Amino acid sequence: MPAPSPSFAAAPGHAVLVFSRTTGYRHESIPAAVGAIQELGAAVGFGVHATEDAGALTARNLARYAVVVWALTSGDVLDDDQRAAFEGYVGAGGGYVGIHSATDTEYGWPWYGGLAGARFRSHPVPQAAMLQVEDLSHPATAHLGSTWTRTDEWYDWRSNPRPSVKVLVTVDESSYDGGRTGGDHRIAWCHEYAGGRSFVTGMGHTEESYTEPEFRAHVLGGIRWAARRS
């Protein structure tokens, strides 16, 4: 586990909000995801608040947080006022972390589609696959080698985000069955967006993901980068 980070803990608005509301498919792994982020916060020194109440996404409340993690959200989860508040939060430098089905959320909100970088299309059954790590210096991947093998539900995408994001990890479709994205199958990326920072990982479907040290460090690194505390 990484050492405590006093600069993260002492910074104004250092806390993390984990938002996991669903109106579509609901993952059984949501409690595991929330619990893992709470454990990471306790270990490295940042507060974690968790909610499924969209009413928490007001301008006043969001100002308390360095990062909002959309953890396995799905469907339409905000109203127009809440969307405007979240756009303002990111515009003021706030951080966004999208985990797995965060990319299967808010299809009618184009701004959010740009923030997430890509939209979910389909997936085969969960299975083991080989990943290629493209960036060994990013906080979300610096703990990994050039390859990473793990089991998850491998999302295919409606479009390729690479032109507008920094791709961190790709998945080798020849290492599993049923992939439909093609040779450049992105699975984790980051980018600066509309004044803030966005980190997205398509992984995290299974409950077991949140007990894996490598995956937990991947999520923690994404949070730290999005919070500008890496």
Region 144-151: mean pLDDT is 98
Share of residues in the chain with pLDDT > 90 (%):
92
pLDDT at 215: 98
Region 82-88: mean pLDDT is 98
Consecutive H or E run containing 182: none
What is the secondary structure of 80-128 as a DSSP string? HHHHHHHHHHHHTT-EEEEEGGGGGB-TT-HHHHHHH-S-EEE----EE
Mean pLDDT of the chain: 94
**Segment 53-82, tens digit of pLDDT:** 999 999 999 999 999 999 999 999 999 999
In the chain, what are the domain boundaries?
A: 6-122+188-226
Q: Which two tokens stand for residue 188?
A: 């984790």
Other C-beta atoms closer than 10 Å to the C-beta of 10 total 9
Domain 6-122+188-226 in CATH 3.40.50.300? The answer is no
Backbone φ and ψ for 139, nearest 5 degrees, come out as: -55, -25
Using alpha carbons only, what angle is made at residue 207 by residues 106 and 24, rounded to the nearest 5 degrees? 25
Region 118-134: mean pLDDT is 97
pTM: 0.95
